[in-house]
Amino acid sequence: MIMPASGRTPLIIDVDTGIDDSLALLYACASSEADLVAVTCVSGNVEAVQVARNTLAVLELAGRGDVEVALGREVPLVRELRTAPDTHGPRGLGYAELPDAAAQLSPRHAADLIVAEARQRPGELTLITLGPLTNVALAVLLEPALPQLVKRLVMMAGAYRSAGNTGPTTEWNVAVDPEAMQIVLAAFGDTGRASRPLALGLDVTEKAKLTPAHLDHLARRAGCRSDGSPLAGGPTNEVVRFLADALRFYMEFHSRYDGFYGAFIHDALAVAAALDPALVRSQPVAVEVELGGNLTTGETVADWRRTWGRRPNLDVCTDADVATFFTRFQDRVGRLAAGRSGVAS
């Protein structure tokens, strides 16, 4: 396997940028070990065109307007698109408002970009999916060798030993495009490689529960209050203000439906695990996606007792060091915010 000369991990992140995707992007931009090659956009939390607009704006806020952003497929492979305005707001970023970015979208389609970059640097890229798997399914249909070309696929996807967040047994990213998830599992999980895809499901990501106290710590790391207003006469911090406005919507949602005032930041944990696999523990298991159930379409069915007798096709996370993750998230994004103080607009 070819290792990048820089020692940093080249990433392509596929997003449906709502609130937790935006936090994940900020974490990636704030992590010195990450080489953010490109971000690709898919419909999910909001429509793909809005996803792209949000993604460009968040990257510019972080000072990374140089990162290539590509639009992908705008509807699932088979099913009608559904979005989540109740969870993420009508434009995907809660109460936050960001100006349109100066950067333009890439002329490349997301699936073409994924394939081209994987061919250009075989064995180097880590591909992270934070939304429905539509773009990656298209990429693997374009290039069946994609599973051999990427270093690893890390997904925020599924619910394996926990209740769902879309239906009783289904997780949002899989439920929006279950056929895409099944195509990706079949392609990436049946290659005989030692490195199976890694899936962070709700079982683990719902342990990453961000509270107002976490945001306060991050803000103080950035030298401001938790609403982004200045401490000791300093400038307003636009990154922290964005976080406060976006997360307030998300926390209100969880207060109504999950009984706590805080936010599950699923996607940022997935990026952190991709950069440092030691943050999570996983177990290999055979997984299939239910495509035709009356009540369970989109369920990730995991054969924990190996009754199917099949080779595992997925490494499913079973636990995470959430304390270490939050320490890193607060310190890294707080430091990024401090560096952007008085710069972002």
Active-site annotation, residues = 266
- The neighbouring-strand residues paired with 315 are 198, 284
Sign of CA dihedral 266, 272, 278, 283: positive
3-state secondary structure labels for all residues of 250-262: HHHHHHHHCCCCC
Distance CA 53, CA 15 (A): 12
Sign of CA dihedral 45, 316, 310, 115: positive
- Backbone Cα Rg of the chain: 19
Which of 252, 243, 239, 246 is closest to 339 using CA atoms?
239
What does 58-86 look like in DSSP terms, one character per residue? HHHHTT-TTSEEEE--SS-SSSPP---HH
Distance CA 88, CA 249 (A): 7
Contact 331, 217 (CB under 8 A): no
Burial class (CB in 10 A: 0-12, 13-18, 19+), 102: exposed
| DSSP single-letter state for residue 145 | T
Q: Give the phi and the psi of residue 109 in degrees, each rounded to 5.
A: -75, 145
